[in-house]
Amino acid sequence: MFTGINAGVFYALARVFSTSSESVFNKKLISKLNPFTINLFVMLFVGVCVAPLLFLLNIPALNKTFWIALFITIILNLIANILFIKSYLSDLSIISPISAFKPAFTLIAAIFILKEIPSVLGIFGILLIVFGSYFIMYSKQDGLSLKPLKRLLSDKGVQLNFLAMLTIPFSSSFDKMAINISGPLIFTPFFILLSIPFSLLAIHLFVPKKIIKRDSLVLFKSKKEYLFLGLSSVGAYLFTALAFSKMFVAYASALFQLAVVIEIFFGYYIFKEKGILQRLVAGTIMILGVIFILLA
């Protein structure tokens, strides 16, 4: 139905809606559960959903490069997932704009790891997205200063999100390296199923047994949120892999930032967060950035 860049854009936009929903349910659950617990149970849910792909599809020859890239990205994603989930203790409309910095980091990493050189329009589009995220926190009293960024960086959730974001460009590049060898629908189940032992090890090392027991009971009472979080995560993982298989990592990661606009709406309507008008203006700037990326 879709080919080439059109397919990449479609998958990236599908990923945007999946991750926006994922953010809402992560925020709802983080006030009740340990982030390690959320990560593990999401991986288990997604694993059950994607494991059949390994039996339905032909698995190509997987070389040493694939396995090295896979295990590197599993470790990097585990670190990022825990930090991202914990960051949702802050306002969704504050956390979401920070993710617009991802394309800049991804661009730099992809140049060195994947030898992907974006065009001038692509770079300009990414810069517009980054500027939009800066403008979201801007006020008249700031003038031409770094005060908006300083306010962002003083927020604990933002600090956690920023640390997680530093791993994403590298994990995304290794994702694509493995996807180029196996294909997105083979990469995803291998990634998820092999992430589960690492998630179990992490929860064993860092979470007391009494917290695990408490979280299991709380999760049982939060079945609806867990179900929707799991379904959103299935979409997020699959559409991420499919988008990376069709587009440059830097461009796909830039398109993913459209989730910022949706999450600002969710923050306002679901969590009653403020500043919707200014943040929507900033979102428009980010959409212009996406248009430049598409033109590239």
Q: What is the pLDDT of residue 104?
A: 67
% of the chain with per-residue pLDDT over 90: 48
Q: What is the pLDDT of residue 22?
A: 95
Tokens linked to 177: 């390296």
Is residue 196 packed enough to be buried (19+ CB in 10 Å), middle (13-18) or exposed (0-12)?
A: middle
Alpha helices (runs of H) in the chain, residue ranges in sequence order: 4-30, 35-50, 53-56, 64-87, 92-98, 102-113, 120-136, 147-154, 156-182, 184-206, 209-221, 223-246, 249-256, 259-269, 276-295
67-108 tens-digit pLDDT? 999 999 999 999 999 999 999 988 888 788 777 677 667 666
Q: What is the pLDDT of residue 207?
A: 93
42-71 tens-digit pLDDT? 999 999 999 999 999 999 999 999 999 999
Residue closest to 13 by CA, chosen among 239, 209, 224, 212: 239
Contact in structure between 91 and 275 (CB atoms under 8 Å): no
DSSP string, 63-91: -HHHHHHHHHHHHHHHHHHHHHHHHTTS-
Q: Average pLDDT, stretch 107-123?
A: 75
- Say if residue 138's pLDDT is above 60: yes
Contact in structure between 282 and 155 (CB atoms under 8 Å): no
Q: What is the average pLDDT value for the chain, to the nearest integer?
A: 86
- Say if residue 147's pLDDT is above 90: no
Q: What is the pLDDT of residue 258?
A: 83
Q: What is the pLDDT of residue 144?
A: 65
- Say if residue 3's pLDDT is above 60: no
- Say if residue 294's pLDDT is above 90: no
Q: Average pLDDT, stretch 199-210?
A: 93
Q: Give the confidence band of 160 by pLDDT, cuts at 50, 70, 90.
A: very high
Q: What is the pLDDT of residue 249?
A: 78
Residue closest to 187 by CA, chosen among 41, 264, 73, 32: 73
